[in-house]
Amino acid sequence: MRVVLMGPPGAGKGTQAAVVSGKLAVPHISTGDIFRANVSEGTELGRTAKRYMDAGDYVPDEVTNAMVRDRLAAPDASAGFLLDGYPRTTAQVGELDDMLAARGTSLDHVVELTVDVDEVVARLLARAQEQGRSDDDEQVVRRRLELYAEQTAPLTDSYAARGLLVRIDGMGSIDSVTDRILSALGG
């Protein structure tokens, strides 16, 4: 199964993706996690990405697309994947379609987690304190939410028009949200 998980920063995508990918037996591919791993390892990709991430901006499409292209070419992604945090821009939507079409495949579902914005800001600020993520201070959090609303939320309309989108209420306990996602995916 080839699934994209979308939702604003703080919607709980990472948490849900980890559980849902396990149930579906597909790899969880998080662009944010791959960037953060590169930042910790001090790679060139990490140095480039960090400049954007720390400001709450999107890493440029060319950089992100090349990284996802590589990751999806790995053998473990051939039978399916759960993509978390990608695509986030119109150009990325087109790239992903092309990458899959080149292999004669396509997306099965796009899941959008919907949340209350005030709740999300509170969650992100709490996470900043717990995990010390350098992109979780209030100003940067607001910037990330703005970018999501401007550039990423509108992408769900095009997926809806293609009949791929399922909107899931992301509020409530972790388990109840997981159950909603799995039942929407027919699992």
When the beta carbons of 48 and 105 are compared against ligand ADP, the nearer one is 48
How far apart are CB 68 and ligand ADP at their closest, in Å? 7
Residue 88 falls in the annotated catalytic set = yes
Q: Which positions lie near ligand ADP, rule CB under 6 A? A: 9-10, 13, 31-32, 35, 52-53, 56-59, 64, 85-86, 88, 92, 135, 144
- Catalytic hit among 127, 142, 143, 167: 127
Strand order in the sheet with 109-114: 28-30, 81-84, 2-6, 109-114, 165-169
How far apart are CB 163 and ligand ADP at their closest, in Å? 23
When the beta carbons of 10 and 170 are compared against ligand ADP, the nearer one is 10
The DSSP result for 107-152, as a single string, is: --EEEEEE--HHHHHHHHHHHHHHH--TT-SHHHHHHHHHHIIIII
The first and second tokens of residue 106, run together, are 């396509």
Residue 143 falls in the annotated catalytic set = no
Residues 47, 38: Cα–Cα separation, whole Å: 8
First and final CA of the chain: distance in angstroms? 11
How far apart are CB 186 and ligand ADP at their closest, in Å? 25
> Is the peptide bond prior to 60 cis by the omega test (within 30 degrees of 0)?
no
How far apart are CB 118 and ligand ADP at their closest, in Å? 16
- Catalytic hit among 50, 71, 144, 180: 144
Residue 13 falls in the annotated catalytic set = yes
What kind and span of H or E run contains 39?
Answer: helix 31-41
String of b and e for 8-24 (b: at least 16 CB within 10 Å)? bbbbbbeebbebbbeeb
When the beta carbons of 86 and 159 are compared against ligand ADP, the nearer one is 86
- Catalytic hit among 13, 36, 71, 180: 13
When the beta carbons of 58 and 81 are compared against ligand ADP, the nearer one is 58
Which residue carries 């399922």 as its tokens? 166
- Catalytic hit among 133, 142, 143, 167: 133
Active-site positions read: 13, 88, 127, 133, 144
